[in-house]
Structure 1
Amino acid sequence: MRPKKNPQLELRKNSKLYFMLGMTFILLLIYLALNWKTYYSDNNWDVGDLKVQDELIEEVPFLKIKLPDPPKPKIQSPPKIEIADDEDDIKETFIEPNDVDQDTKVVAIEDVAVAEEDIPEEIPFILIENAPVFPGCENEQTEKDKRACFQEQMLKHIRKNFRYPEVAQEMGLEGRVSVVFTVQTDGSIGNIRLRGPHESLETEAARIISKLPRLEPGKQRGTPVKVPYSIPITFKLN
């Protein structure tokens, strides 16, 4: 059967191509419309007149200050030289030298004053030469081992004497109590300072520290000194 229309004149043949061209053209128009910018042609802005006050010129009066006359230099009269007669006896003053020689007397050692060593009364635990020694750590060989033993014994003492306050348990209180105490020169514990979330927790921490045994005091150049030490005690409910 012979077709009625020419296949080459079919409009649907390139419909996709025409659709893509139309969409591209429309998107180009939208892009140009969105980026279209306009500017004001009139650059004359309405600004107010700024009135500036004329410069004020003030005449500064001249002050005449009379300075005092400089002091007159003192002219010292030359020393008076008297010529003595040959027959007069003149006694000359003899100046003894201060140089040391073999005849100079040496001061005894007992008479030499020795200045006392300037050692602070209190030295922090981290800076002291010989830290306080906890009972049971005396046999440690090095200073580093003694400090490590001190830390370990402190933790054992806290765990052994730890008791959660009943008031804190009922109120559900938890937190950390910062404890600072001082090892005195005789090895006793004093000057206990506490900071915590509640008074009941601070009281319990003070009770634990008060049960510490007498320690061997810290020494600086062989002299016992006070040594402050700080440790946190954490209260946590299971």
Structure 2
Amino acid sequence: MEIKKNPKSNLENYSKIFMQIGLVLALFVTYAAIENKTYDKVIGDLGTVSMNADMEEETVITEKIEPIKPKTPPPPAPEKIEIVEDEKEVEETVIESTETDETEAVEVEEIVEIQEVEEVVEDVSFMIIEDVPVFPGCKGSKNELKACFSKMVQKHFSRKFDANLPNELGLSSGRKRVFIGFKIDKNGNIVDVNARAPHPKIKSEVISVMKQLPKMKPGKQRGKPVGVKYSIPFTLIVE
């Protein structure tokens, strides 16, 4: 005898429903797990510490209390007040005015004018003068003016000096040295001529010749005319 099952009690007929219910439950558990909030475990509350608090030390203000001095009692009032009549005349003080009247003569101290002392520049040597004296007709630079000056002085001496004088004086034959010195003053004139020669007459002749030099443009030192000293040797040939 075969036992037959009731078709309603067959669970295979409900497999789809069970599967759908399982999916719904799985989704619900997943959603609940996601939405569940967890919190960290807190151990006590130690309070809040402010790191921006001022680190200044507390300043103790001390005030010096001075002892209170006793007040000086007022002077005692006079027992009797006497009224004294003002018999003395008060002298009035007269303040004199310091303003002067137009008609009044005013004494004025004499003003002494101080004259400026002009700087005195001593005579300068021809070799170191800043601006050399200029012989008439000379042109060019400072070095050219120096060379031209010496050349023109020698030319003047050779032309004016009496070459026969040494022979007339009976000097021994040979070369004779003559040293000449003079100064060109601030106005360009030839002054202080001196000479050293082998004979007094030759010395006189040399001085006379050098005094005949023409007037020149004076030399200058620091832009001011000064006296310029010049010296030159000459050689005389005695036959």
TM-score scaled by structure 2? 0.47
TM-score scaled by structure 1? 0.47
Larger radius of gyration: 2
